[in-house]
Chains A and B, each alone.
Chain A
Amino acid sequence: MVRFENVGLRYGLGPEILRDLSFQIPAHSFQFLTGPSGAGKTSLLRLLFLSLRPTRGLVTLFGHDISLLGKDEIADLRKRIGIVLQDFRLLDHMTTYENVALPFRVMGRDESSYRREVIDLLKWVGLGERMDALPPILSGGEKQRAAIARAVIARPHLLLADEPTGNVDPTLGRRLLRLFIELNKSGTAVIIATHDITLMDQYDARRMVLHQGRLHIYE
């Protein structure tokens, strides 16, 4: 599904922050991406989400060499990827329901075909009573769950989550982890970037550790 070969990344003329990354993300797999702050986890997620291009090496995503893709093709590929960012990136003028339904709306689907699905998922993540609330009045944990719901609603082939439990208490963190595990069981490849050793200890999965720009994989 995803293949990196000798990939390097630098910002501008600065030092290379990711070096010689070579790995594969198989379909239906589950992995944690970890490492100290500043190790390049978010940069690697951005490479995987195609919002950054590597400065060297080959990245293949869903069978496409990304260096050959145009903007429209990248937009099409992104429809197959869900992403949860640390800062949630919810749209403040839209209700929780509308934020979560956004991927379907962008696909041009009729609302009647997905309304039930969105409501079910919102209830599932504990936001059933906050569907009409605007993000500015949601708590950090609620925003986190709304962002996760938006990332998974369209059943992506690949889910990227950057510190998805960083703003919630340990109990809710465990529940969200179970959501990702459920999603993975239904066929989505999941990559969770986290510092949280406790979270990683709760599920036996492949660990990708970034250290000083290099990646070490523990199966």
Chain B
Amino acid sequence: MNRSGDDHGALMDLGHDTPQVPAKARNTSPIVPRGSIAGRALVAVVAIMTFLASITTGAVLLISASASEWQSEVASEITIQVRPVPGRDLERDTLAVAEAARAQPGIVEVRPYTKAESAALLEPWLGSGLSLDDLPVPRVIIAHVVPGTTLDVAALRGLVTQAVPSASVDDHRAWIERMRSMTSATVLAGIGILALVIMATIISVSFATRGAMAANRPIVVVLHFVGAGDRYIANRFFRHFLRLGLQGGVIGGGAAMLGFGFSESIAIWFSGTPVGDQFAALLGTFSLRPSGYLVLAAQAVLIAAITAGASRRTLFATLNDIE
């Protein structure tokens, strides 16, 4: 059909004056209107999910970092106890054990607690004015291990018991094992919560996508009429959901990062107070490392990608049902 020039004079008399070509006649509208997708609700859902996921991950990172600090501190110390035995001089035995420990390769410092220091250790339980001479209280020796080396505890135990049979060596292995178990449990719980959050995100996004497709069914039908394939139609919707997912991810992840940054400031303000000290003892400085913030950012992007992926999958499944 030739639609140019004068060939169509017969069809140009439709009762209108010859119109001017309007300057505005352009494709400016998106094929899928933005307002037709329940965007705000979906952004809010993704933002909340990303926030919860980020708080969980951040908390796991903080606890893991603190636990590893505790572990390294505890692992770098050895405690030797010298129990009083009738007929033996406890002071002399303590010095002998300290000398024996110093001879062990890998020990960098040995510090026997004096009688007064031992009394101070027991003061919270037994009160002040305690006379250790009246009680069979063992003497404690703290030995520091060269960082990064593995101490031969069996050899040290042999040396120490050879010097004083009533001495014993504690390398805090039980504590370290408990710490490891606690950290692993925390990380596992964090992964579990993350999995739940991601599942909830996928379900929410799938519902939102189905809702959007139902609301836009007439558009899908018309696009089918003009020869659009499912891939073309899905891509039109997919862009919206990708953008909504990214918006939600940025809001939720950003809020969580701000929260962690703010909590660092709060920890600094409260440092020196009993509450602050308690928190510091439990969670260290309560500050995420830069790598922690990177993990949170990567997680926000991951949740946005999951949002887009879930939406894409639902789009194709829904399009199959629309002729």
Pair from one complex: yes
Interface of A with B (CB < 8 Å)? Answer: 49, 51-52, 71-72, 75-76, 78-81, 83, 85, 89-91, 93-95, 97-98, 101-103, 105-107, 111, 115, 117-121, 123-126, 128-129, 131-132, 150, 152, 154-155, 172, 175, 178-179, 182-183, 185-188
Contact of A98 among B1, B27, B219 (CB under 8 A): B27
A97 partner residues in chain B, CB cutoff 8 A? 22, 25-27
A72 partner residues in chain B, CB cutoff 8 A? 229-231
Instruction: Please report the C-alpha to C-alpha distance between residue A28 and residue B306 in the assembled complex, in whole angstroms.
Output: 50
Query: Which residue from chain B places its CB closest to the CB of A92 in the assembled complex?
Result: B218
Contact A155 B1 (CB under 8 A): yes
Confirm or deny: B15 has a beta carbon within 8 angstroms of a beta carbon on chain A: yes
CB-based closest 7 A-B pairs: A128-B19, A126-B14, A79-B227, A186-B1, A75-B229, A78-B227, A97-B25
A51 partner residues in chain B, CB cutoff 8 A? 224, 323
**Beta-carbon contacts under 8 Å, B31-76 to A:** 31, 33, 36
Confirm or deny: B92 has a beta carbon within 8 angstroms of a beta carbon on chain A: no
- The answer to whether residues A95 and B29 also contact, given A75-B228, A124-B12 and a CB cut-off of 8 A, is yes
B8 partner residues in chain A, CB cutoff 8 A? 124, 182
Query: Which residue from chain B places its CB closest to the CB of A129 in the assembled complex?
Result: B19
Instruction: Please report the C-alpha to C-alpha distance between residue A186 and residue B225 in the assembled complex, in whole angstroms.
Output: 22
Confirm or deny: B116 has a beta carbon within 8 angstroms of a beta carbon on chain A: no
Contact A103 B226 (CB under 8 A): yes
Specify the main secondary structure of chain B where it touches its partner: loop
Chain B interfacial residues counted at CB < 8 A: 41
A179 partner residues in chain B, CB cutoff 8 A? 11
Query: Which residue from chain A places its CB closest to the CB of B3 in the assembled complex?
Result: A120
Contact A106 B26 (CB under 8 A): no
Contact A89 B26 (CB under 8 A): no
Contact A175 B1 (CB under 8 A): no
Query: Which residue from chain A places its CB closest to the CB of B231 in the assembled complex?
Result: A72
- The answer to whether residues A129 and B224 also contact, given A93-B33, A119-B21, A182-B11 and a CB cut-off of 8 A, is no
Instruction: Please report the C-alpha to C-alpha distance between residue A46 and residue B258 in the assembled complex, in whole angstroms.
Output: 57
What's the count of A-B pairs with C-beta under 8 Å?
121
Confirm or deny: B273 has a beta carbon within 8 angstroms of a beta carbon on chain A: no
B11 partner residues in chain A, CB cutoff 8 A? 124-125, 175, 178-179, 182
Knowing that A125-B14, A183-B1 touch, tell me 7 more A-B residue pairs with CB under 8 angstroms.
A75-B229, A97-B25, A102-B223, A124-B14, A128-B18, A182-B11, A187-B1
Contact B3 A121 (CB under 8 A): yes
Contact A102 B1 (CB under 8 A): no
Contact A71 B22 (CB under 8 A): no
Interface of B with A (CB < 8 Å)? Answer: 1-4, 8, 10-12, 14-16, 18-22, 24-29, 31, 33, 36, 218-219, 221-232, 320, 323
B3 partner residues in chain A, CB cutoff 8 A? 117, 120-121, 124
A128 partner residues in chain B, CB cutoff 8 A? 16, 18-20
B4 partner residues in chain A, CB cutoff 8 A? 120
Contact B27 A152 (CB under 8 A): no
Specify the main secondary structure of chain A where it touches its partner: helix
- The answer to whether residues A172 and B227 also contact, given A93-B33, A121-B3 and a CB cut-off of 8 A, is no
B218 partner residues in chain A, CB cutoff 8 A? 89, 91
Contact A75 B15 (CB under 8 A): no
- The answer to whether residues A106 and B232 also contact, given A101-B27, A123-B12 and a CB cut-off of 8 A, is yes
Most buried by A among B3, B14, B19, B226: B226
Instruction: Please report the C-alpha to C-alpha distance between residue A93 and residue B25 in the assembled complex, in whole angstroms.
Output: 14
Contact of A75 among B36, B222, B227 (CB under 8 A): B227
Query: Which residue from chain A places its CB closest to the CB of B22 in the assembled complex?
Result: A131
Contact A102 B22 (CB under 8 A): no
- The answer to whether residues A111 and B1 also contact, given A71-B230, A93-B33, A123-B19 and a CB cut-off of 8 A, is no
Q: How far is the CB of A183 from chain B (nearest CB, A)?
A: 5
Contact of A131 among B10, B16, B18, B25 (CB under 8 A): B25
A49 partner residues in chain B, CB cutoff 8 A? 225
B230 partner residues in chain A, CB cutoff 8 A? 71-72, 75
A-B contact pairs, 28 of them (CB 8 A): A51-B323, A71-B320, A75-B224, A89-B218, A89-B225, A90-B222, A95-B25, A95-B29, A98-B28, A103-B226, A105-B31, A107-B227, A115-B26, A117-B3, A118-B25, A121-B3, A123-B12, A123-B18, A124-B12, A126-B16, A128-B16, A128-B18, A131-B22, A132-B25, A155-B1, A175-B14, A186-B1, A188-B1
Q: How far is the CB of B51 from chain A (nearest CB, A)?
A: 33
Q: How far is the CB of A100 from chain B (nearest CB, A)?
A: 10
Q: How far is the CB of B8 from chain A (nearest CB, A)?
A: 6
Contact B16 A105 (CB under 8 A): no
